[in-house]
Structure 1
Amino acid sequence: MHIDRMRLILLLCLAGSFKLGWTVPLENLEKITLDFFPNNSMLLTTYMSTYFIVNVPKCVSSSTFSPATVRLAVAKLPDASTLPGVSDTDEILSVRKTPEANTYFAGEFKSASCRVARDLLVMDMGDSQYELITVIGYQVGAEFCRQTKGPFCNQVLKPSTFYRVNFFFLDDKAVIRAHTDWSTAIQTRNVTNHESADVMYEGRAGGMIVITILVSVGGAVLLIALIVAVVLSNKK
């Protein structure tokens, strides 16, 4: 009876630790495959001195849980061959509390299930224009921590430094349930002067990079008129 009671206490403590977001060994997490740098994307293989862009999962499927949030981990490394020596989630810190951390959570964003992603289309109408917004990647190194708030900071990266990234997937109760492998190492460019510092996407909160396509109503009307003209000419 005493042994059974001790086992019950240990199980309750373990369950409580998962609910509170305590340490989770990486070996106990589900592994999800993701290509961080697709070969057919010039944008996602572009890197600058203080940031680079990685692919984001358009949908995540799992037989054991429903992914609700994706959390990005970043590791700063001495060279391209080194892997982060991380065995559990407790070793991934926040640079807000530990600014000198070499492995840290940079931010998080909502995850769409594969079923939802098939029908997902974001369109906004305003000022007599159609606005189509498509997420194409996540900018690693997008924030100055002193200018942002929240538990994480996607801090700007250091020039001429090697980094790897890893996505962690959380369920609807904010419990980490899965992760990817660490990406291939990428080295940021070296900056020799202030004018060469990259500013292309600097300041985008959260790090999400989007392409916005504007199609004016006037253009749509001309297209419709052209189609009607072709149809009428064929009838003749």
Structure 2
Amino acid sequence: MSTYFLVNIPKCVTTAKFSPATVRIAVAQLPDSSTLPGVTDTEQIENLRKTPQATLYFAGEFKSVSCEVARDIVVLDLDNSQYELMTVVGYQVGSEFCRQTKGPFCNQALKPSTFYRVNFFFLDGKSTIRAHTDWSTAIQTKNVTNYETADVMFERAGGMIVITILVSVGGAVLVVALIVAVALSNKK
């Protein structure tokens, strides 16, 4: 996570004045965790395709989730390869190399050990920005220079699974042995 991070996306926006069609995410690179982006106008948010070194830019855009869909809990257990259930729970900031992508935005790889904040902008059906969230708390990317020494949580998970299975089986054997001992002591 030295060149990207994940953020929770807004579930839905309800308003009587407009119907949100898309959500656009802005990313600000900051010198430290206490700094807030001094953005007062969305015209100050740049496009990486035009300004590759921009520190405040739009990283991407995705369809807004309807509030009715966001409230529904859908549980599907499908064993058929014809169906795919996709649930969007977050947005990965820093997942692209601009020279390899097309489209109006670029979600460039982030710098290690750097602070960022994100903001979501809500657009109507005519692609006009109508609302936005506050800037997030500061998010710092990790300073990983050697990926072999990176602390990966799943490396320990395998060992914990083995230990849990051994303890569970050992406990079950002890319970069975106790039942057999009680049964044999009652026969005497």
The bucket for the TM-score relative to the shorter chain is: 0.7 to 0.9
Percent of matched pairs sharing the same residue = 76
**Residue 77 (str. 1) matches residue 30 (str. 2):** yes
Rounded to whole Å, the distance in 2 between the matches of 1:61 and 1:196 is: 46
Q: Where in structure 2 are the equivalents of 1:1-236 lying within 5 Å?
A: 48-119=1-72, 127=80, 131-193=84-146, 195=148
Go from structure 1 to structure 2 and tell me whether the alpha carbon gap of 1:124 and 1:67 turns closer, same or farther (over 3 Å shift).
farther
The answer to whether the 8 Å contact 1:166/1:182 transfers is: yes
Q: Report Cα offsets for 1:95-116 as digits up to 9, x if no partner.
A: 1110111100000000022134
Q: Is the CA contact (8 Å cut-off) linking 1:122 and 1:132 kept in structure 2?
A: no
| Shift in alpha-carbon separation, 1:116–1:136, aligned structure 2, 3 A | closer
2:168 corresponds to: none
State the alpha-carbon separation in 1 of the partners of residues 85 and 29 from structure 2. Answer: 35
Q: Deviation above 4 Å: which 4+ runs of structure 1?
A: 119-130, 194-198
Distance 2:12 2:109 in 1: 27
Q: Counterpart of 1:172 in 2: which secondary structure?
A: coil
Task: Give the distance between the partners of 2:104 and 2:135, measured in 1 at CA.
Answer: 22
**1:196 Cα deviation (Å)?**
5.6
* Bigger strand share: 1
Q: Matched residues in 2 for 1:196 and 1:153: separation?
A: 30
SS class of match (1:157) = coil
Q: 1:68 to 1:120 in 2, by over 3 A?
A: farther
CA offset digits 1:33-80 (Å, max 9, x no partner): xxxxxxxxxxxxxxx101110001222111211100000000000000
1:69 and 1:76 map into 2 onto residues whose CA distance is 23
Residues 124, 132 of structure 1: 8 Å contact kept = no
Larger Rg: 2
State the 1:132 CA deviation: 2.8
- Report the number of matched residues: 151
Unmatched runs of 5 consecutive residues or more in structure 2? 152-188
Q: Secondary structure at the match of 1:132?
A: coil
> CA distance change for structure 1 residues 53 and 114 in 2, over 3 Å: closer, same or farther?
same
Change in 2 beyond 3 A, CA 1:177/1:187: same
Calculate the aligned-residue CA RMSD, in Å: 2.5
Structure 1 position 164, deviation (Å): 0.2
Shift of 1:193: 2.4
When normalised by structure 2's length, the TM-score is 0.72
1:90 aligned counterpart, secondary structure: helix
SS at match of 1:133: coil
Q: Which consecutive unaligned segments of at least 5 residues does structure 1 have?
A: 1-47, 199-236
